[in-house]
A = this chain, B = another copy of it.
Amino acid sequence: MTKQRLEAFSDGVIAILITIMVLELHEPHGAELADLRPLLPKLLSYILSFIYLGIYWNNHHHMLHATRHVSGGVLWANLHLLFWLSLVPFMTSWVGENHAAAWPTAIYGIVLFFSAVAYTILQTVIIRVDGNESLLARAVASDRKGKISLLLYAAAVGLSFVQPWIADLLYVAVAMIWLVPDRRIESRLQTQPAD
């Protein structure tokens, strides 16, 4: 039951985060097509953040599917992840408003970086509870995608001060890497059921 309620709460928070971002797309002041133009960067940053939150929901879903035990530590590691994700709508709005500026672009990357760190912590805490022989431990053994993402986020944060659009490209690239759902877990799940 604990696991089920953890999933339900996380689903709730991520569902709300993914949806309230749209509240930042304020209706344009005029009724012409041209009035939508200034919204374009906001819409693009909304789409990117929507994909990122979708990726987190997807991977979170796979990870918990492979989880056996939920301890107090897991609950807090999960809340820690949700905290960083909760900053995404705010950063999306700021970077959408100032898409060519260095600092918003960099701090968007910092939020993504710490979200990824929080996800890794959650993964580590679950594995510590479930044991090194657990399904999840073997599925994410090397966690290459996780490490590459952290590197690319860090690079993007630095490059924001050179050319913000290079950082933007890197954010898109990391999303692409993850758009493929975590087949490591999915394939293991098919050969060995989690519960």
Chain A residues in the interface with B (C-beta under 8 A):
1-2, 5, 7-9, 11-20, 22-25, 27-28, 31-33, 35-36, 47, 50, 54, 57-58, 61, 65, 72, 75-76, 79, 82-83, 86-87, 89-90, 93-94, 97-98, 101-104, 107, 179-181, 183, 186
Contacts and interface: CB of A to CB of B under 8 A. Distances in A.
A15 B72 CA distance: 18
Nearest to A51: B79
B33 A65 contact: no
Q: Report the copy number of this chain in the oligomer.
A: 4
A58 B71 CA distance: 11
A18 B13 contact: yes
Contact of A65 (B2, B13, B23, B97): B2
A23 B93 CA distance: 11
A183 B17 CA distance: 31
Contacts of A33: 103
A38 to B, nearest CB: 14
Contacts of A22: 17, 20, 86-87, 89-90
Main secondary structure of the interface of A (DSSP, over half): helix
Given A31-B101, A90-B27, A97-B27, A36 B76 contact: no
A158 to B, nearest CB: 15
Contacts of A54: 76, 79
Nearest to A21: B86
Given A24-B27, A47-B83, 8 more contacts: A11-B12, A20-B20, A20-B22, A22-B90, A25-B90, A31-B97, A54-B79, A58-B79
Contacts of A35: 103
A118 to B, nearest CB: 13
Contact of A181 (B17, B72, B83): B72
